[in-house]
Amino acid sequence: MRVILFGATGMIGRGVLRECLLDERVTAVLAVGRASTGVPHGKLREILHDDLLDLGPIEGELGGYDACFFCLGVSAAGMREPEYRRITYDFTLSVGETLARLSPGSRFVYVSGAGTNARGRAMWARVKGQTENALLALPLEAYMFRVGFVQPMHGVRSRTRLYQAAYVITRPLFPVLRRLVGGGVTTTEQVGRAMIAVAERGAAKRILGPADINAL
């Protein structure tokens, strides 16, 4: 499989990239973003591009892929809705609409969040839900990964200091968390493996929570 990865320098994106490079089913990875991953690998190619609302300059490089893993996102903390919507909705739909035109029917996996609801009272949940609905309406085989607590593995780190501190504190307690919360927690490794599984054979439903991701 040939996959495109957006958000490869973020915590989840780095975990997904690691699994793609390790998995023999993935033959090529195209990482698109503003900064390089800094990962040298024979099947990884990178395109540095600043403006996801204008994909015209790189559109010729985006066709012919089997799946897209969209891991780009930002915390809503301290953000106003227009700014959050631009990154969460506008960027995602710009990519989704472009790939729907270039590779209709290809698989598109979007990292959403547990609690997402297009009619929710929380701003982030509402914007995420509207993003999900718009992706599901495109001529793509789109899947929503509503992740909950995601433990970074294999040296992957969060770029958000508060989150990274929380991950460091909870790492020794992760086995206990899994027993207490059950299917509400997962890891960057499991998210990456689940995305590859979806790219290869799809899934029984389009909206997947942490327990579904772990099962995949």
Which pLDDT does position 163 carry in this prediction?
A: 47
Say what the pLDDT of residue 172 is: 60
Cα–Cα distance list, 41 to 9, 10, 30 (Å): 15, 18, 11
pLDDT tens-place string over residues 43-54: 999 999 999 999
> How far apart are the C-alpha atoms of 164 and 156, rounded to whole Å?
10
pLDDT reading at 179 higher than 60: no
| 3-class DSSP state of 161 | helix
- State CA 50 to chain mean position distance: 18
pLDDT greater than 70 at residue 168: no
User: In the chain, what percentage of residues exceed pLDDT 90?
Assistant: 81
Q: From edge to edge, which strands make up the β-sheet containing 207-208? A: 44-48, 28-33, 2-6, 67-70, 107-113, 141-147, 207-208
User: Whole-structure pTM over 0.85, yes or no?
Assistant: yes
**Pairing between strand 185-187 and 28-33?**
unpaired
Residue 20 is encoded by which pair of tokens? 């793609």
Q: How confident is the model at residue 214 (pLDDT cuts 50, 70, 90)?
A: very high
Query: Over 80: is that where the pLDDT of 159 sits?
Result: no
Please give the C-alpha separations between residue 129 and each of 83, 96, 207, in angstroms, as whole numbers.
16, 15, 11
Identify whether the C-beta of residue 135 lies closer than 8 Å to the C-beta of residue 111: no
Q: Are strands 67-70 and 2-6 parallel, antiparallel or unpaired?
A: parallel
> What is the distance between the alpha carbons of residues 152 and 164, in angstroms, rounded to a whole number?
9
